[in-house]
A and B are shown apart, each in its own frame.
Chain A
Amino acid sequence: MSTSVEAPKNAPLLSVENLVVEYPSKRFRAKPFRALTDINITIGQGETLGLVGESGSGKTTLGRAVLGLAPVTAGKVIFEGNDISNASRKERRTLSRDLQVVFQDPYTSLNPALEIGDILAEPLAVQGMEPAAAKKRVRELLDQVGLPSDAIHRLPREFSGGQRQRVAIARALALSPKLIVCDEPVSALDLSTQARVLDLFLQIQRDTGVSYLFVSHDLDVVRHISHRVAVMYHGEIVEQGPAEVVTRDPEHPYTQRLLLASPVPDPDRQEQRRADRHRLLANQQRQNEQAGAVA
């Protein structure tokens, strides 16, 4: 695996500058829907940026904009020094060697009609790899994600959710990318399966030095896997910083609410957290009222 460990750390692998994403409205001459407003993030080599937020916060859209699946209205997406916000399909093909994706739903992210081997060979074939070499690589990949090699000739429906997600991860790894956008990759999985897949993500990062943009609604998941965390709310990033700080001692009122809303698996500590949350909500409401009175 060609990890560029010696690469200078100062230049980020990916940086997103003042990104705006708008979807045209279906109605005639209506204002377009603004999904993302003024987004700024960077991801370094071998680093994981966790992106946390609730439904409709725009976290998935940000991932899709980086991948070229959402329209960039303004701002830049810079990958290894090149602006890729409006990359052509041909440029994307070159990019796909370095930039890959794992989607949330392992049931719809694999074509049900294709065998696992064909699914994994697809990105290899796009890059012009010989079938024999591709087959060898597919076996390596299956081994890397902990699936048996007889999986090659089986269909996705023969696998459980966790196993399918392993296939999706293997597909993302096929071209040894530098950055993988992970869009809620564990949220459809059972608890024990989630733990195993998170282990796999960490192991792969240790082995290959890949960077992750890890999108999740679960603060615990993001804290576990990320170096830095960005919190999204209504299409904006409200707080960004080292994972430990943002997920344990957040500054922004929304992140504070998010943290205290997530229940802990112990009745007494949860009771404490519940009380803390009620106090926080009361405080924030008082502040809002005061701010409203001043304004």
Chain B
Amino acid sequence: MSDSIDSSAVTADAAGLAAKPGTGQSGTVVRSTVMRRLIRNPLGIASLVILGTIAILAIFAPVLAPFEENFANISKTLAPADSVNILGTDSAGRDTWSRLLFGAQLTLLSALLCAGVAIAIGLPAGLIAGYYAGKFEAVSNWVVSILMSLPGLIVLLTIRAAFGPSVWISMIAFGVLISPSYFRLTRTAVQSVRNELYVDAARVSGLSDLSIIARHIFSVVRAPIIIQTAAIAGVAIAIQSGLEFLGLGDPTKATWGVMLSEGFKNVYLTPTLLLWPALAMALTIGGLVLLGNAIRDALEDGEKIKHRKKRSVATAEGTTAEPAKARQSRKSVAAVELGTEHHLIKVTNLGVGYPQADGSVKKVVDDVSFHVDRGEILGIVGESGSGKSQTAFSILGLLPDNARIVGGSIQFDGNYTVAPGDDRVNQERLSKLRGKRISYIPQEPMSNLDPAFTIGYQLVTPMVRVLGITKAEARTRALKLLTDVGIANPERTFDAYPHEVSGGMAQRVLIAGAISCEPDLVIADEPTTALDVTVQADVLDLLRELQQRLNIGVILVTHNFGVVADLCDRVAVMQNGRLVEEGTVRDILRNPKEQYTQTLLGSMLEGKTPMTMLVTPQKEPVA
């Protein structure tokens, strides 16, 4: 079992919502790393400190505040700051600092209440709607649409008129109004994992729906809910203070909104009365927003930070590589080794590597040499992580940006595309060849056709560009090509969109596209792996027929020895980035010299006695 499967799994997982590192946190392990990442982030630690300080001040308000919130000293109104009233007093002679502290208590509690109500309604409803779908989802979608179409502020004003100026009631109402945001968030997250196989496995194990939701589903929504709550709490504070600022609050309670309103009335007399509650609100809301961002970064962008590091290394190398680039353009004129010009493609001691964060280079292709002549099919065989696709991509010049050629050369038809000493594929030279003289047949036919354009358009456009022919000529050519690749009704396929044809048909279209500009070399990367076996046989027939008729060179990347036996003249076996063995197809398949090739062929099921052990010795426990 190769490690590469693991690493590809990690990247695949990282892409999926279900696998966000840390959304799970069943174990404390994951939690602590999220917490640590949060603290390491300057924004995270700053927002935590701000919010923590405000919370502590609010909790200990009765102890810290020198006066009662409504204690009024009529003889000392609108006083400036002094040693008794450290932030001064308001128009009724109440202590601003004390009111600020008590106000923090009430403001934070009401924000929590609002978020709590919204979660209490939105989360369960979203979980149920997402998990069961059906009628409940339909009905709750209606309710959500109605709630979202209500003008929030007007509803709050109406409620205030009906129930009186209570902070709590207006915050409960606002919680209800804002609950759709939780509902939608939860429902979407649940829908994305509802049909995951591990949920099916839990069902087969007989887990009740409640346990499945609690164990497997809830963990997915936990992180987004926390982030959402930070934002919602900020909004709640703003809305509540806004209402009170309009004079709709409860004047007997000290809140920041009431203080703001009071300060606004006296803005010409004592502008600082407006400053303090505004500052408190700005700090709190800002802190909440930053905290939300920091949590999201900690949960989701663990990868990104790594990438950034990687890129900085890359750019550092890039700067030193600048003179090398200049050398490269000079060298690309350099002639290839004498006596090798006749090979269509020749790869010599090729190495491909990826610079790592720690400065080392991870080699994925190491010292690989082979050649292909016109009219010849070379099979490159290997398991996942053997470097076979990376080799193919370096010939095509389609390696990812951060990849480096760490050694060797590639020459096509007597000219270097990667000269010795180059650290990158020469895109200038290759872009003239790619699509015209070197073409490519991918593994996944469907994902390699653009669903937004007709098949005809996708065939015609490259021909017009590369061959310089008119659209009408290209159309005639495309129809002929579609006939050539065995499509019964070329006109209909020409006008069809990719989703209207089957996978086998789509692969025929891609093959037609690959040969449309009369290439000399076709690189086929697992061209039949995604197809059914009967369709595979047809596509292999097609490839063989076209290759013989057009006398092109083909590099066939595959993991299937059957496909190799069917098509190839010569075979190269790869393992862990190295070329293990190369030879004619009969030599390699019948008399493999290397241990690894023997193991691979030994794993084939064809010709084995059924019901016997393949690799493990009989009667031994599997280890």
Point out residues on A near B: beta carbons under 8 Å. 54-55, 64, 67-69, 89, 92-96, 99-101, 103-105, 107-115, 118, 122-123, 126-127, 145-146, 153, 157-164, 168, 171, 190-196, 198-200, 202-203, 217-221, 223-226, 243-244, 257-258, 260-270, 274, 277
Contact = CB atoms under 8 A, between A and B. Distances in A.
B5 A92 contact: no
B5 A190 contact: yes
B371 to A, nearest CB: 20
Contact of B26 (A101, A113, A146): A113
Given A160-B6, A162-B1, A191-B604, A258 B533 contact: yes
11 contacts: A103-B197, A109-B197, A112-B18, A113-B24, A115-B27, A158-B6, A168-B201, A198-B614, A199-B616, A221-B605, A225-B610
Interface in B27-64: 27, 30
B413 to A, nearest CB: 28
B19 A196 contact: no
Contact of A161 (B5, B23, B24, B208): B5
Contact of B24 (A114, A164, A171): A114
A161 B605 contact: no
- Main secondary structure on chain B at its contact with chain A? helix
B1 A163 contact: yes
Contacts of A113: 19, 23-26, 30, 219-220
A267 B377 CA distance: 13
A3 B268 CA distance: 91
A220 B605 CA distance: 6
A261 B528 CA distance: 12
Given A69-B200, A196-B616, A199-B613, A115 B206 contact: no
Contacts of B541: 274
Contacts of B74: none
A268 B590 CA distance: 11
Contact of A171 (B18, B201, B537): B201
A267 B610 CA distance: 23
Nearest to B601: A265
B138 to A, nearest CB: 13
B589 A266 contact: yes
Contacts of A194: 603
B560 A202 contact: no
A159 B8 CA distance: 11
Contact of B383 (A67, A107, A145, A190): A190
Given A54-B534, A192-B600, A263-B537, A111 B216 contact: yes
A157 B30 CA distance: 13
A225 B611 contact: yes
Contacts of B554: none
Nearest to B7: A160
A133 B106 CA distance: 51
Contacts of B25: 113
Closest 7 CB pairs of A and B: A113-B24, A263-B562, A93-B206, A265-B561, A109-B197, A162-B1, A261-B537
Contacts of B623: 146
B207 A190 contact: no
A277 B532 contact: no
B613 A202 contact: yes
B623 to A, nearest CB: 5
B608 A224 contact: yes
Contact of A191 (B206, B532, B603): B603
Contacts of A223: 605, 610
B448 interface: no
Nearest to A206: B619
Given A160-B2, A191-B600, 11 more contacts: A67-B200, A68-B203, A69-B200, A92-B203, A93-B206, A101-B200, A113-B220, A190-B2, A193-B383, A265-B561, A265-B564
Which of the listed residues A101, A118, A171, A263 has the most CB atoms from chain B within 10 Å of its own CB? A263
A107 B24 contact: no
Contacts of B564: 265
A158 B19 CA distance: 13
Interface string B533-564: 11011001100000000000000000111111
B153 to A, nearest CB: 39
B565 A264 contact: yes
Nearest to A102: B201
A240 B9 CA distance: 37
B562 A111 contact: no
A110 to B, nearest CB: 6
A64 B197 CA distance: 11
B590 A266 contact: yes
B205 A126 contact: yes
A92 B12 contact: no
B615 interface: yes
A191 B560 CA distance: 8
Nearest to B611: A202
Contacts of A218: 533, 605
B616 A203 contact: yes
B614 A103 contact: no
A89 B606 contact: no
Contacts of B561: 265
A69 B197 CA distance: 11
Interface in B343-395: 383-384
B204 A101 contact: yes
B533 A203 contact: no
Contacts of A126: 205-207, 211
Given A192-B599, A223-B610, A267 B585 contact: yes
A18 B354 CA distance: 57
B10 interface: yes
Contacts of B215: 111, 114, 122
A157 B10 contact: yes
B13, B200, B532, B537 interface centre (most CB from chain A within 10 Å): B537
